[in-house]
Amino acid sequence: MSLPFAGAFLQLPLWDLLMNASLVSKIVLLFLVVASLMSWTVIFAKWRQFGAASQANRSFLRAFRKAPRLDAIAAVAEQFRASPLTGVFSFGYEEAARQAEAHGRIINKVAVERSLQMGISEELAGLERNMSWLATTASVSPFVGLFGTVLGVIDSFQGLGMQGSSSLRAVAPGISEALIATAAGLAAAIPAAIAYNQFTHRIRELGARMDDFSLEFLNMTERGEE
């Protein structure tokens, strides 16, 4: 059995539906397109950032574990600038070097630990930058699309009532136009939600690596005092 609504929908090219859409529908669709483009920009940027960070972390850890002293790492740390561990190391090394210069050795390990924690917080803030846009796009876009759909359906049935027609074929173009907003909302939200969940997991992993590295850093400072 064929549905008159489906037949009317298939007879209408998508471009014609968009061009004949109401002003509110066009604004909703424009908002969703912009949100989707910005979301994909963040996704690609974060994908590159996390890939570079993981690779640089591995290289930096190999160099760190082979180095006999902290100052040997400090001399080559700039080579691993993409590594979050480099930022953590810089915070800890500055405090350790300050104490060693003033007292000849590290006398306040708690201060070094605090510096390492500040470094971790700084690096996590950089990794989380723009993540809020993905979360916002994932949570808001479906509702914006639904808003456009509801307005489109209301407008279609108002037009149906004014024409005095009860045919689905008469109201099909308006409903089809309205459903495009829902589809656009889902198209913007689904990639953003998937990327947000994946990137959040990567951030937790990198945070755990930084916590472990801070312990290795403290162990090296203790070995240097022996």
Give residue-wise pLDDT tens across range 138-178: 999 999 998 888 887 777 676 666 655 555 555 566 677 77
Q: Indicate whether 149 belongs to any domain.
A: yes
Q: Indicate whether 121 belongs to any domain.
A: no
CA 143 to chain centre: 20
Q: Indicate whether 93 belongs to any domain.
A: no
C-alpha 11/C-alpha 110 separation (Å) is 73
**Inter-residue contact 80 to 58 (CB < 8 Å):** no
Q: Indicate whether 126 belongs to any domain.
A: no
Share of the chain above pLDDT 90, in %: 51
Q: Where are the beta strands (DSSP E) in 40-178?
A: none
Number of domains in the chain: 1
Instruction: Print the domain residue range for 18.
Output: 4-85+131-211
3-state secondary structure of 10: helix
Q: Provide the mean pLDDT of the chain.
A: 83
Q: Which helix (H) or strand (E) holds 14?
A: helix 14-19
- Rounded to an integer, the average pLDDT of 84-100 is 92
Q: Indicate whether 119 belongs to any domain.
A: no
User: With 0-12 CB in 10 A as exposed, 13-18 as middle and 19+ as buried, what is 75?
Assistant: exposed
pLDDT of residue 168: 56
Radius of gyration over every alpha carbon of the chain, rounded to an integer in angstroms: 28
Q: Indicate whether 220 belongs to any domain.
A: no
Q: Indicate whether 173 belongs to any domain.
A: yes
pLDDT of residue 206: 95
pLDDT in tens, 101-145: 888 788 888 999 999 999 999 999 999 999 999 999 999 999 999
Q: Indicate whether 40 belongs to any domain.
A: yes
Amino acid of residue 64? F
- Closest by CA to 33, choosing from 165, 194, 223, 189, is 189
C-alpha 8/C-alpha 18 separation (Å) is 15
